[in-house]
Amino acid sequence: MLTLFDNPDSSNALKVRFLLAELGLEYKRETIPLAYPRPDAYMAINPLGGIPTLEDDGYVLAESQTILRYLATREGSEDLYPTDPQERGRIDEFLDRFATRLRPPFFRREAVMLGWSLERGFSPDDCDPEKAPAIELEIAANTALLDKLVGEGGCVLGRFTIADCALAPVLHRAQLTGYALDKYPRLQALTDQILSRPAWAAAEPGC
């Protein structure tokens, strides 16, 4: 049995639950609080304390992008993560670009809309939505760049892959918090297509 150490409101855990649902895999969930410091028992499993962590029959793996790659490879799902080196390279390129450059600006807006702090995780008391419009202007070039990099037709790279699983929680939070993407037609198409998949609802998206 797979065990996912996650939190309902973690976007990184949500992308893994999305893939687990796409693969039709059963798993057990262990909820870890978002607030820091995180429990000592969890830190013993994952010394960096990030969420999620996956345990597969004693094999422990952290970092959500790595977990996506592992699960798709474990299940032999070449449609989601192909073995052809050039096709796989495109997916890996997007995942790395997204994690290191494209994702952080979106989180700046999410933090004020959803009320993020290290001490409390997400809390309504820490919301400051009046800051969102200014942040949207500041991150507009990043959003436009992401719109340019993703494919047409409702998938990141032309067909549904783990790259879509990685991006889905950001599109979900944009929709949830009123970040209008109509100026970004490819991202809007992605939102409409990806978030309508049955596996997305099965992943039980939180905030």
How far from the centroid of its chain's Cα atoms is residue 58's Cα?
A: 24
Read off the amino acid at residue 131.
K
Count Cβ atoms within 10 A of the Cβ of residue 174 and give its class: 0-12 exposed, 13-18 middle, 19 or more buried.
Answer: buried
CATH number of 85-202: 1.20.1050.10
HEC secondary structure over 92-112: HHHHHHHHHHHHHHHHHHHHH
Specify which residues 54 forms β-bridges with.
4, 61
CATH number of 2-74: 3.40.30.10
How far apart are the C-alpha atoms of 54 and 121, rounded to whole Å?
21
Q: Answer whether 169's CB lies under 8 Å from 11's CB.
A: yes
Count Cβ atoms within 10 A of the Cβ of residue 52 and give its class: 0-12 exposed, 13-18 middle, 19 or more buried.
Answer: buried
Domain positions in the chain: 2-74, 85-202
How far apart are the C-alpha atoms of 133 and 29, rounded to whole Å?
36
Read off the amino acid at residue 205.
P
What pLDDT sits at residue 154?
84
What the block records as the tokens of 78 is 């070449």
Tens of pLDDT along the chain (207 residues)? 899 999 999 999 999 999 999 999 999 999 999 999 999 999 999 999 999 999 999 999 999 999 999 999 999 999 999 999 999 999 999 999 999 999 999 999 999 999 999 898 999 999 999 999 999 999 999 999 999 999 988 899 989 999 999 999 999 999 999 999 999 999 999 999 999 999 999 999 988
Q: Answer whether 23's CB lies under 8 Å from 73's CB.
A: no
Same fold, 2-74 and 85-202: no
Whole-prediction pTM value? Answer: 0.96
DSSP letter (8 states) at residue 125: G
